[in-house]
Amino acid sequence: MKAFTLALLLSFATLTSSAQVSKVSFDATTKVFRLDGGNVSYVFGVNSRGELQQMYWGGRLGATDTFPAPKPKPEWASFDDSYTTTPQEYAGWGEGLYIEPALKVTFPDGNRDLVLHYASYKTTEHGFDVELKDIEQPIFVTLHYSMDSETGVLARSATIENRGTESVTIEQAAAASWALPAGHYTLNYLTGRWAGEWTLNQEPIQHGERIIESRRGSTSHQANPWFAIEAGTPDEEHGEVWFGALGWSGSWRITVERDQLDAVRVTGGFNPFDFGYVLHPGQSLETPIFYGGYSAHGLGGASRELHLFELKHILPRTASTRGAEMPRVRPVLYNSWEATEFNVNEAGQMALAEKAAALGVDRFVMDDGWFGQRKNDHAGLGDWYVNPQKFPHGLKPLIDKVHSLGMDFGLWVEPEMVNPDSDLYRKHPDWVLHFKGRPETEQRNQLVLNLARPDVRAYIFGFLDKLLTENDIAFLKWDYNRNWSEPGWDAIPANEQKEVYVAFTRNLYSILAELRQKHPNVEIESCSGGGGRVDLGILRYTDEVWPSDNTDPFDRLTIQNGFTYAYTPQVMMSWVTDSPHWMNNRSTSLAYRFLSSMQGSLGIGANINKWTPDETALAKRLIAAYKQVQPTIVRGDLYRLISPLNGSEFSATEDVNRDKSQAVIFAFIHSTQEGRGFPLLKLEGLDPNVEYTLSSIEGKASPNTPTTASGAWWMNHGLVMDQSFRGDFQAAAFRLDKK
């Protein structure tokens, strides 16, 4: 092991001192590293064997508290040695390790033993870079730690480097492992399917391993790379919660293990399934970032911390918001997909644009169908020229019209895909993911372009850049409507072809970054047939996401509820669409549809040509009311007051803005039974000493409700709804404003 370079007994580096003082420290005597941010402390150190050992992750400790040097855990029996019982920060697969390794490699001579020991460290702006090295081989791993001073969210990742003279194959590489002491815990994670994303699963953590993953080449609808672990049983506002989210939009995996001694470890990063990455001499591999946080205030507290972190540190800024603390609120948009599907043309889109502008919409988005020979989903993907039959004069007349109506213009694209019935595929059949000579599996009649290839990357960047240069486009809806099959890449040596899993996603990110740099005001939505590509990796480059193709306003209550455990309502696009809804053939009032959508970033996706004057007037009023409170809804603190899950008769949410001068409350009834009134809504997060005035956005409070009362009143006495608030699919919304 290398000697410590630091001569000082104790060295402190004090970082950003905004509201909370955040600090990183290294004690050279005990070899203990400590990071403090928000209400969180994270501590690890070098044990007597030279391994990096996790020591503490939880509520913030006193500034003068110190730790002795970490000791490896004892061997439990000859079957569970100390290597496997000691919680390592980043364990190589070697020695006697039986739990999930962070890193597994094969050396050219067939040796697969990897034992990572501490080598050196460097203090960085918000944390540490800690270098580990195999006990013999020149494989180095630098662990990056960076803690947010306000929320205590810790960003962790690893750089794996081959400083030897021979190539090494990486078979498994995590971003980080997180450890919790022996105890009883509940695991929360999100699963789903197309049109049914964001199901919250809650289960006790049992012995063995629970795997949450995507093997599909992208994030997936089926599981999302987020977890939250509660001490004991689930609770929305109380108790300790450790949570994490992986910033990776390719195949990923998170494992949650409870070992034989009841300790829990979470390891996440690239999915090792079909993984293989050859590190030639001098080369390195960066893992994705795994973010982790802690709250003592239940799942609600955990999601509020994560939302704030996403708003401030993940989401991109445009030229006009560069340096701003928060991204700008999303423009209220209109999208014609559900109204017209592929049947877009100049006259039809112009007519819808006129109607949309009259409602108070800020952004008009034309969806699928405008390009190539795209009449349905059988043809056209890959041919990104404007369809001359539908738009004989190009896009300019429509864009000019949209601008003249005071809106900006957005356009749908699906850059990574190709239909076999396209000029692009006919010219470059080898550009798709495929195994030579094997059938190519189509899904939605399309194939996936191999974005890992430099020529494909150049083509995709080229057409998007041209589109944005030649047209005044403010927004791209970037769609991705299938998962991978046959992920072959035969243009490179056979032993390197599995690198497609890394190279594809890296090229996707690099295209997004380059486009944003060249067109610094353009905004982008990540859509993948709904919520199939939502994670903290893509959110670094996209301003919003499409959580689900399911826009049924009742289904959306549970979909959106699940979504907000991991992601801020700022990015949660939510359209008001037609009734009866295509998904469930359910009829709901326009007000109900609006209030469901107003819990996120509002859009309209209905056929507004068919709206009656009354419906148009209601929509206009609610859009105006929404805009007045939108910053509180999308950037405030979210409290899930009554959960819509488990067939609940009722549900309610509350958003409180950051200076506690405003709150917005949404209440929904599924179906009143036995005349039951809506439950008393005890509000949260207000300033008890401030007077707030209640006003209705939609619906009525009980006649006995004071117009103005203290925060203490609204939180302790609570808001009573009017007796008339009963029936099927009812909704009400209120705002409280500091007097």
- Residue with smaller CB distance to ligand DGJ, 104 or 556: 556
Distance CA 475, CA 470 (A): 14
Query: Shortest gap between Cβ of 412 and ligand DGJ (angstroms)?
Result: 6
Q: Is 134 annotated as a binding residue?
A: no
Query: Shortest gap between Cβ of 549 and ligand DGJ (angstroms)?
Result: 5
Q: Is 479 annotated as a binding residue?
A: yes
Site residues (CB under 6 A) for ligand DGJ, limited to 396-455: 412
Distance CA 224, CA 199 (A): 10
Site residues (CB under 6 A) for ligand DGJ, limited to 344-403: 367-368
Among 81, 479, 543, 737, the one annotated catalytic? 479
Q: Provide the Cα torsion 335, 341, 347, 349; round to 10°.
A: 0
Q: Does 549 bind ligand DGJ (CB under 6 A)?
A: yes
The residue count for binding ligand DGJ (CB under 6 A) is 11
Q: Is 527 annotated as a binding residue?
A: yes
Query: Shortest gap between Cβ of 444 and ligand DGJ (angstroms)?
Result: 8
Query: Shortest gap between Cβ of 643 and ligand DGJ (angstroms)?
Result: 26
> Are the C-beta atoms of 125 and 155 separated by less than 8 Å?
no
Tokens of 598: 């107003």
Q: Is 368 annotated as a binding residue?
A: yes
Q: Does 479 bind ligand DGJ (CB under 6 A)?
A: yes
Q: Burial code of 656-670, b = ≥16 C-beta within 10 A, e = fewer?
A: bbeebbbbbbbbbbb
Query: Shortest gap between Cβ of 583 and ligand DGJ (angstroms)?
Result: 13
Does 235 qualify as catalytic in the annotation?
no
- Residue with smaller CB distance to ligand DGJ, 303 or 577: 577
Which of 436, 351, 362, 434 lies closest to 398 in space, CA to CA? 351
> Are the C-beta atoms of 38 and 152 separated by less than 8 Å?
yes
Instruction: Give the position of tokens 């794996």.
Output: 160
Question: For ligand DGJ, which residue of 26, 90, 178, 546 counts as binding (CB under 6 A)?
Answer: 546
Q: Is 481 annotated as a binding residue?
A: yes
Q: Is 478 annotated as a binding residue?
A: yes
Query: Shortest gap between Cβ of 452 and ligand DGJ (angstroms)?
Result: 24
- Residue with smaller CB distance to ligand DGJ, 298 or 529: 529
- Residue with smaller CB distance to ligand DGJ, 107 or 575: 575
Taking residues 550 to 569 in sequence order and writing x for each that binds ligand DGJ by CB under 6 A, - otherwise, the string is --------------------
Q: Is the peptide bond before 68 cis (omega within 30 degrees of 0)?
A: no
- Residue with smaller CB distance to ligand DGJ, 301 or 603: 603
- For the chain, how are helix, strand and coil distributed in percent, rounded to 5? 20, 35, 45
Q: Is 480 annotated as a binding residue?
A: yes
Quote the strand ranges of 18-163, DSSP E. Answer: 21-27, 32-37, 40-46, 52-59, 103-106, 116-124, 127-134, 139-147, 154-162
Does 65 qualify as catalytic in the annotation?
no
Site residues (CB under 6 A) for ligand DGJ, limited to 480-539: 481, 527, 529-530
Beta bridge partners of 253: 213, 269
> Are the C-beta atoms of 175 and 290 separated by less than 8 Å?
yes
- DSSP code, position 237: S
Among 549, 552, 637, 655, the one annotated catalytic? 549
Phi, psi for residue 297 in degrees, rounded to 5: -120, 45
Residues lying near ligand DGJ in the complex (CB under 6 A): 337, 367-368, 412, 479, 481, 527, 529-530, 546, 549
Active-site positions read: 479, 549
- Binding-site positions read 194, 367-368, 444, 477-481, 527, 549
